[in-house]
């Protein structure tokens, strides 16, 4: 899952190195998404609390943040073989995401339906369930027909969409087992206890992750929701708007979150394409901690490189720019420690 909006795949190693230099043993990733940063933190020997409001993020957290050596990998392999052997069976995914919309070819949609139904029938503990759901999400991701968000699908099938869906075992992340949570970051902030570092990567503009990744959410929840529009978004996408996606509410939400956190260390990611001026974010953080801010030149989301097209699939208009600036703010208990954390680590080539 590397083609998605907000992915920190390339930045994650540097974020983990910052945490390692800070000497922390625990960290909370409060907007975890696909858990890329949490995985890097865990591999650096840090115990991770991985939180997001999305059910798919919790499933990924079970697989990559919580799963440890106690998982019976032989049983997991047998279960994956069983699921891979199932014949397709049309259901909600086939009807909604293959026939009404075109996210998957019907033969893969039927496989997703059959496998998802079988996961609910098999007796599983929470981690096994998370591992199987993660395997299914990643298999679906490899055969979808999008450019990285599920607000729309390609007019012509992506070449990968014709590949047969195949489950693979999620890799085992080294390091201490952590804890996945599913909840509001602002509410969780006051419950972090002795966690030493908080990583914040909140939404920074009007684009809703609930709307952008509604297909993943529906596959994990398996709740056959009512939907709307050409993209067949879940109806509750309209009701689950984050204050971080509102220009009028986002600043107060961020300020409330920062003021609620008591962790000695705070690392914050932002883009210069968001609602907030970098200088304002830095000033907010400096009210509580010493801050080092680093700017990283980065490629924009893949959709920008593909360009703007009309409903007939013809390229129209011109994309204004293909690069943006990612900002990382590192906040710590004293200036020398903060400067040591970022020295030679950032910026990185992304």
pLDDT score for 320: 55
Give the domain CATH number at 186: 3.40.50.150
pLDDT score for 346: 62
Among 179, 212, 217, 167, smallest CA distance to 61 is for 179
Among 174, 27, 218, 60, smallest CA distance to 127 is for 60
Per residue in 21-38, pLDDT tens?
A: 999 999 999 999 999 999
| CB distance 167 to 84 below 8 Å | yes
Residue 59 lies in a domain: no
Domain boundary (194, 224, 241) is at 241
Same domain? 167 vs 248: no
**Range name among 37-51, 85-99, 267-281 with the lowest pLDDT average:** 267-281
CA distance 302 to 269: 19
pLDDT score for 301: 53
- Does residue 3 have a pLDDT over 80? no
CA distance 120 to 149: 27
Share of the chain above pLDDT 70, in %: 89
Residue 23 lies in a domain: yes
Same domain? 8 vs 83: no
Residue 60 lies in a domain: no
CA distance 258 to 71: 36
| CB distance 266 to 198 below 8 Å | yes
Residue 61 lies in a domain: no
What residue has token string 């199987």?
Answer: 132
- Does residue 166 have a pLDDT over 90? yes
Among 119, 166, 110, smallest CA distance to 141 is for 166
Same domain? 183 vs 124: no
Instruction: For residue 23, give both structure tokens.
Output: 């000497």
Per residue in 105-155, pLDDT tens?
A: 999 999 999 999 999 999 999 999 999 999 999 999 999 999 888 988 998
Domain boundary (241, 261, 287) is at 241
* 152: containing domain: 70-171+210-241
DSSP track, 323-338: EEEEEEEEEESSHHHH
pLDDT score for 8: 73
Residue 62 lies in a domain: no
User: Is pTM beyond 0.85 here?
Assistant: yes
Same domain? 197 vs 339: yes
E strands of 102-192, at which residues?
A: 179-182
The 265-271 sheet, strands edge to edge = 179-182, 47-52, 26-29, 197-200, 265-271, 323-332, 290-299
CA distance 106 to 326: 38
Same domain? 122 vs 140: yes
Average pLDDT, the chain: 89
Provide the number of structural domains found in the chain.
Answer: 2
Same domain? 221 vs 263: no
Instruction: For residue 330, give both structure tokens.
Output: 């590192």
Domain boundary (241, 259, 288) is at 241
Same domain? 9 vs 40: yes
CA distance 315 to 64: 39
Per residue in 241-274, pLDDT tens?
A: 889 999 999 999 999 999 999 999 999 998 877 8
Same domain? 76 vs 111: yes
Cis before residue 161, ω within 30 degrees of 0? Answer: no
CA–CA distances in Å: residue 290 to residues 66, 259, 285, 347: 32, 15, 8, 19
Same domain? 273 vs 344: yes
Same domain? 75 vs 29: no
Q: Give the three-class secondary structure for 197.
A: strand
Same domain? 335 vs 193: yes
DSSP track, 47-101: EEEEEES-HHHHHHHIIIII--TTS-HHHHHHHHHHHHTPPP---HHHIIIIIIS
Q: Is 54 left (phi over 0), alpha (psi -120 to 50) or beta?
A: beta
Q: How confident is the model at residue 330 (pLDDT cuts 50, 70, 90)?
A: very high
Same domain? 282 vs 195: yes
pLDDT score for 316: 46
CA distance 147 to 206: 19
| CB distance 345 to 297 below 8 Å | no
Residue 63 lies in a domain: no
């Amino acid at each position: 899952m590397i083609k998605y909006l907000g992915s920190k795949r390339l930045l994650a190693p540097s974020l983990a190195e910052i945490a390692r230099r800070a000497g922390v043993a625990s960290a909370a990733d409060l907007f975890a998404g696909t858990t890329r940063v949490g995985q890097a933190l865990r591999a650096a020997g840090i115990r991770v609390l991985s939180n997001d409001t999305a059910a798919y993020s919790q499933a990924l957290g079970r697989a990559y943040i919580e799963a440890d050596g106690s998982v019976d990998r032989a049983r997991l392999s047998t279960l994956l073989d069983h699921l891979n052997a199932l014949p397709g069976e049309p259901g909600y995914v086939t009807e909604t995401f293959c026939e009404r919309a075109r996210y998957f070819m019907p033969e893969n949609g039927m496989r997703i339906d059959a496998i998802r139904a079988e996961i609910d029938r098999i007796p599983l503990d929470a981690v096994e369930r998370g591992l199987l759901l993660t395997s299914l999400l990643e298999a679906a991701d490899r055969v979808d027909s999008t450019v990285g968000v599920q607000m729309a699908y390609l007019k012509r099938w992506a070449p990968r969409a014709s590949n047969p869906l195949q489950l693979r075992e999620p890799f085992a992340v080294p390091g201490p087992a952590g804890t996945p949570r599913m909840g509001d970051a602002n509410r969780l902030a006051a419950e972090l206890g002795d966690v030493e570092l908080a990583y914040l990567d909140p939404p920074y503009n009007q684009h809703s992750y609930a709307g952008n990744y509604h297909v993943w959410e529906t596959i994990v929840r398996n709740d056959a929701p009512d939907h709307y529009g050409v993209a067949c978004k879940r109806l509750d996408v309209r009701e689950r708007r984050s204050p971080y996606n509102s220009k009028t509410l986002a600043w107060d939400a961020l300020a409330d979150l920062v003021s609620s956190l008591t962790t000695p260390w705070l690392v914050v990611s932002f883009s210069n394409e968001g609602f907030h001026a970098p200088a304002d974010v830095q000033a907010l953080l400096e009210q509580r901690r010493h801050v080092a801010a680093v700017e990283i030149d980065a490629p924009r989301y893949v959709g920008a490189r593909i360009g703007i097209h009309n409903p007939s699939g013809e390229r129209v208009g011109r994309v204004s720019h293909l690069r943006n600036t990612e900002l990382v703010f590192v906040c710590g208990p004293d200036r020398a420690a903060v400067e040591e954390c970022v020295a030679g680590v950032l910026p990185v080539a992304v």
